[in-house]
């Protein structure tokens, strides 16, 4: 286990470097730059602005300067938000998305796995159909429909909850974002759990357990659940990273000030350092949680070895 973690850590650095390189090249290949403006900026001014941000240097030099800074923990100034650095932007927005994300993830796991198990146990009977249909509403309503609908219902019509804002993450401000975020994932997790559980319950070892007279709930919880969870956990790893890095729709509709907005806005504004910064963040999270998932596999199925 220990050597596994060490190996993963060692590989993480070149992976992040590869990520930075690919992103860097892609970004600069896109037309337009951070300072392309509707009102044409006079050349002399443009030269100065670009010099300020090192954009006048050849690409490979910019790359090396950037990597050097990153190694020291400095993600650079934001090209668009001239009053902030990327570190500050991420530090102020990521915790918010992570907070909402963590709660959403909890609901996703509890409801998703729970509903999936219930549906698998009652396969093709009414509980199965009802549960699955209910779960499907999450997938059917994409979050750009679900979020405004929730606001329309709970904030505008019923006036139970505020329509947006963060205010330190108080309960009434995060309820709707959490629901909007969680519902689409719950459906996916429920379906995968259900299908995997159905297959596992047909396995010979379950048949053995049943023949031995082990009570049903013990079969499900003690014997079937763990192997059934393997595909679920594979899905949940990247899903978790996606959830805690927020969504641009949730950030826009609810004005949470989360980090999701930066992914899209950063690209639209060609804010190179911001994009690289959030990309590195996502990269690190992906690596960490993929490693966690790999470790989980060994717990779920002791035959798995690396």
Partner 1 sequence: MFFSDKHAGMGELADTLAEDAYTEGRSLWRDARRRFMNHRAAVASLVVLALLLLFAAFGQYLSPWDNESIDWASLPNLDEDGLPSLASQHYFGLDPIGRDLYQRTVQGSRISLMVGVLGALTAVVIGTLYGAISGYVGGRTDAIMMRTLEVLSAFPFMFLVIVLMAVFGRNVLLIFVAIGAVSWLNMARIVRGQTLSLKRKEYIEAAMSVGVHPFLIVLRHIVPNVLGVVIVYATLLVPEMILFESFISFLGLGVSEPYTSWGALISEGADAMWTAPWTLIFPMLMLVLTLFCFNFLGDGLRDALDPKDR
Partner 2 sequence: MTVNNVQTITSTANRMEEGSGRWLSRALLVCLAPLVFIACSGSDDNHAKGGDRALEAADIDAPETRLKAHPTTGEQLARRQVLVRGNASEPASLDPQLVQDSVGGAIVVDLFEGLTRSGPRGDTEPAMATSWASSNNNLTWTFQLREDGLWSDGSTVTAQDFVYGWRRAVDPEVGSNYAYYIESAGVANAGEIIAGDKAPDTLGVRAVDDFTFEVTLEEPITYLPDMTVHYTMFPAPRQAIEAHGEDWTRPGKMVSNGAYTLNAWHIGEKLVAARNPRYWGDDSTIIDRVVYLPIESSSAELQRYASGELHMTSTVPVSQMARLKKERPKELVMVPSMATYMYAFNVNRPPFDDVRVRRALTYAIDRNIIVSYITRGNQMPAFTLTPPYVSGFDFRQPEYATWSQTRRDEEAREALEEAGYTEDNPLEFELLYNTDESHKALAIVVSQMWKEKLGAKVTISNLEWKTFLSEKQAGNYGIARFGWKGDYNEASTFLTLLTSDSGNNDGGWSNETYDQLLLDARSSDDPNPYYVRAEEILWQAFPVVPVYFNTTVALVSPSLKGYPEKNPRTIVYSKDMYITAD
| Least distance (Å) between residue 167 CB and partner 1 | 26
The angle formed by the CA atoms of residues 90, 12 and 282, to the nearest 5 degrees, is 30
Tokens 């999701």 correspond to: 260
Q: Measured from the CB atom, is 249 or 287 closer to partner 2? A: 249
Contacts of 210 (CB under 8 A, 6+ apart): 219
- What does residue 85 show for φ and ψ, rounded to 5 degrees? -95, 165
**Contact partner, 63, from partner 2, partner 1, none, Cβ < 5-8 Å per class:** none
CA distances from 158 to 152, 153, 154 (A): 8, 6, 5
d(CA 243, CA 103): 10
Contact set with partner 1 (CB under 8 A) = 11, 14-15, 18-19, 22-23, 26-27, 29-31, 124, 132, 136, 139-142, 144-145, 148-149, 152, 187-188, 191-192, 195-196, 198-199, 202-203, 227, 230-231, 233-235, 237-238, 241, 263-264, 266-268, 275, 279, 282-283, 286-287, 290, 293, 297, 300-301, 303-306
d(CA 12, CA 284): 8
Contacts of 230 (CB under 8 A, 6+ apart): 196, 297, 300, 301
**Contact partner, 19, from partner 2, partner 1, none, Cβ < 5-8 Å per class:** partner 1
d(CA 141, CA 184): 8
Beta bridge partners of 77: 85
**Contact partner, 273, from partner 1, partner 2, none, Cβ < 5-8 Å per class:** none
Q: Measured from the CB atom, is 100 or 249 closer to partner 1? A: 249
Q: Measured from the CB atom, is 236 or 291 closer to partner 2? A: 236
| Least distance (Å) between residue 230 CB and partner 1 | 5
Q: Measured from the CB atom, is 166 or 287 closer to partner 1? A: 287
Q: Measured from the CB atom, is 198 or 220 closer to partner 1? A: 198
**Contact partner, 166, from partner 2, partner 1, none, Cβ < 5-8 Å per class:** partner 2
């Amino acid at each position: 286990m220990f050597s596994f973690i060490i190996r993963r850590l060692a590989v993480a650095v070149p992976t992040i470097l590869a990520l930075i390189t690919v992103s860097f090249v892609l970004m600069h290949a896109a037309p337009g730059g951070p300072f392309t403006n509707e009102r044409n900026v006079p050349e002399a001014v443009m030269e100065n602005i670009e010099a300020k941000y090192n954009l006048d240097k050849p690409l490979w030099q910019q790359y090396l300067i950037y990597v050097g800074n990153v190694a020291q923990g400095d993600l650079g100034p934001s090209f668009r938000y001239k009053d902030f650095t990327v570190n500050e932007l991420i530090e102020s927005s990521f915790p918010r998305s992570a907070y909402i994300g963590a709660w959403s993830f909890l609901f996703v796991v509890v409801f998703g796995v729970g509903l999936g198990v219930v549906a698998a146990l009652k396969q093709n009977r009414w509980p199965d159909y009802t549960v699955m249909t209910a779960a499907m509403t999450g997938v059917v309503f994409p979050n750009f429909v679900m979020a405004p609908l929730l606001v329309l219902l709970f904030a505008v019509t019923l006036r139970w909850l505020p329509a947006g804002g963060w205010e330190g993450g108080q309960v009434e401000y995060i309820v709707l974002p959490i629901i909007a975020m969680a519902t689409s994932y719950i459906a996916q997790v429920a379906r995968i759990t259900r299908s995997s559980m159905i297959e596992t319950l047909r396995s010979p070892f379950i048949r053995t357990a049943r023949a031995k007279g082990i009570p049903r709930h013990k079969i499900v919880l003690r014997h079937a659940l763990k192997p059934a969870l393997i595909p679920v956990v594979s899905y949940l790893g990247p899903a978790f990273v996606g959830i805690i890095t927020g969504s641009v729709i949730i950030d826009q509709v609810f004005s949470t000030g989360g980090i999701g907005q930066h992914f899209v806005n950063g690209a639209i504004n060609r804010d190179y350092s911001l994009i690289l910064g959030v990309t590195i963040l996502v990269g690190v999270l992906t690596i960490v949680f993929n490693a966690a998932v790999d470790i989980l596999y060994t717990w779920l199925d002791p035959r798995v070895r690396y």
